[in-house]
Amino acid sequence: MIRLARFGATKKPFYRIVVIEKDRARNGRSIEVVGTYDPRKNPAAVSLEHDRIKYWISVGAQFSDRVAKLVAKNPAAAPAETVAA
The structure's pTM equals: 0.82
User: Could you tell me the residue ranges of all domains in the chain?
Assistant: 2-73
pLDDT in tens, 14-24: 999 999 998 88
Cα–Cα dist 65/47, whole Å: 17
pLDDT in tens, 25-82: 878 788 999 999 999 999 989 999 999 999 999 999 999 999 999 999 988 776 655 5
CB atoms within 10 A of CB 1: 17
Chosen CATH of 2-73 out of 1.10.357.10, 1.10.150.20, 3.90.1150.10, 3.30.1320.10? 3.30.1320.10
